[in-house]
Structure 1
Amino acid sequence: MHFSALFTCKIHLKPFFKPEYQNLTIEEFRDTLAKTILGVDDLADAKEYELDDETKKAVEQLNQSIFSNWDWIYGKSPKAAIQHRQHFTQGTVDFRITLEDGRIKGLKTYGDFFGQKAIAEFEQKLIGVRYDEQAIKDALKDVQISDYFGKIPESDILDLLLRQE
């Protein structure tokens, strides 16, 4: 599990822990959880478990069909608000993105870049689009991004818009 996910779980779950577990560090929480799952008092006593080929194949199929699926990762996600801001030599761009069910529900763009067209036109092209790289690139394939963001390179605009933090 990713470090930040453990930390988040600890914060949210802490009030539900027995008193003797409420002041564990993240590392102590991780080790206590692992010892409990593995049924050992010391992690040095834990035995490595090797998955057989059939199990590995089943895990890979599950990963591909569910956990790598866009609907699982983004499509059923709750509403979210994202802000991506970056200063470029040619100006600052600040995207404020609202997502719902993995799609762009709202997009506001702020900055001091010098585009020729109204930024609202650019924003409107992305409303309802899935928040993934291919869908956004497809939605913008016929758009001259420099018309909206001046001399900021198209790749920089797309990287900022799609940044995963």
Structure 2
Amino acid sequence: MIFIKLFWTFIKIGTFGFGGGYAMLSMIQEEVVTRNGWMTNQEFTDLIAISQMTPGPIGINTSTYAGYNALANLGYPQLVCILGALMTTIALCLPSFIMISVISYFFIKFRSNRFFSHAMLGIRPLSVSLIALAALSLVSEESFIDYVSVILFAGALVLSVKYKLHPLLILSGAAVLGLIIY
């Protein structure tokens, strides 16, 4: 019964958890701590710290650890807890996988459609403008422009576009320059 409840809980979170992993954290806490009592608030706080330290998306890491801890706190053996962790991870990812699969199917099917192609031509610049708007909103929150950062950005752009330098080299160089300058 606990497996069905865990699966149902995390498939709901995966379906309605818009905004990325950090947006899902409050939903996971509500379900795991408040509603079902599978762990304490302190355990959940520790779980968040571990999820942030491990590689991967925080929402998926948190669901994996929550599935494991929920079963461990109920006294299940380690192998069953590992299966619970795997199940909660799959349940969280399954809705996104299904949605992307459906979108991909229709994208491939209608790719050559004239109306769809024109719609995509309109969406592309919109996507770029939304990303630019997010960047500008971060700049305006500080109420000043850090010109050194603008110069670092321009340099990184030139190194990437004109000289085709590998992004890891650019990031490493920018990190070293940031340590020196700031």
**Where on the TM-score scale, by shorter chain, does this alignment land: which range?**
under 0.3
- Larger fraction in helix: 2
> What TM-score, normalized to structure 2?
0.24
> What TM-score, normalized to structure 1?
0.26
Q: RCO (CA 8 Å, sep 6+): is it higher in 1 or 2?
A: 2
